[in-house]
Structure 1
Amino acid sequence: MRKFEEVTTESKEIFKGKIVHLKVDTVTLPDGNTSKREIIKHPGAVAVIAQKEDGKIIFVEQYRKALEKSVVEIPAGKLEEGEDPLVTAKRELEEETGYTTDNLQLINSFYTSPGFADELVNVYFTDQLTKLEHNVAGDEDEFVELMELTLEEAEQLEKEQRIHDAKTSYALLYLKIRGLK
């Protein structure tokens, strides 16, 4: 057994939804004792830092039921089963913003909440955007409003907690480090 490894001795699926699955695992701890772990299985997601030629960054505002409020975020979405994250990133960019690109660079990926979920978000960057002639239909239950902001405007929204999620805060830090003014 590797240091700190927990060995699953039993796994029980509690809920299987459209996006997430919840299971409860019984594990043997490194010291030999047992414990329960509640785990959310998620297909993974992408997020896109999309910067226009004028330096403005593309965001979307949408209502997030889990938070009971609207938040401003970078374009993002979940992976479809078996879908390449790069394909997902381009699709989500087109659906949510009306822009496309042939140049998406993977910046990094991170687990959103490794204490209880396996969701991995792949973050891409592009500064080569083309406006689509016709909007691409998005998810029928998703309503978003496009926003184009300077870094300073976005940082102000973060202070106001209108930008209040990890992937978008990560994007702002990335742009600041990259030297966007």
Structure 2
Amino acid sequence: MPTGVALRDVREQLFAAADRILLRDGPHGLTSRAVTDDAGCAKGVLHRHFADFDAFLAEYVLDRAGRMDEQAAVLREAAGTGTVTGNLTEALTALFGSVAVAIVALITFRDELRARLRETWPAGVPVLTEGAEMIAGYLAEERDRGRIAAGAHVDTLAAVLIGSTHLLFADRTGARPEPEAVRHTVTTVLAAVL
């Protein structure tokens, strides 16, 4: 992009470029040059807004984790409607059908990124931790409505659902899991509490 041309919402343009690159090329393809090329701007634009590339990546990951609040609200609103299995299948498919799996791979791939994230995210893996909190909140709502067992340990169930579903989606190169595979996982994990 020529010097002097204003970019609208530079952060979001750069973050959207990172999404596209992660989905297309995986974490090894995510470089500052790739991000700025995809966003259609000069490389210096990224460095004017972020101290360095790992600072950009840390803010990107935290931004994407923070966006899960909207998904959590939608899932909580679904409590008491439809089926618990159906609601969770839909939510987990949407979560892992997004850039979330690629973000987890990115965090695993880059040591410096993990170190930066630890400064503001002391435990767990962003996106997976948010996903587990989203599922646990929903399951607590359903437990309060009597749609799952009163003694159900929602935090454990949520962690198992996140981990199991992540494994279904983790292979970026293979075919995406069918909704029935996700539904089977949810049904199996929740069998004792439904």
Shorter-chain TM range is under 0.3
Query: TM-score normalised to the size of structure 1?
Result: 0.25
Greater fraction of residues in helix? 2
Query: TM-score normalised to the size of structure 2?
Result: 0.23
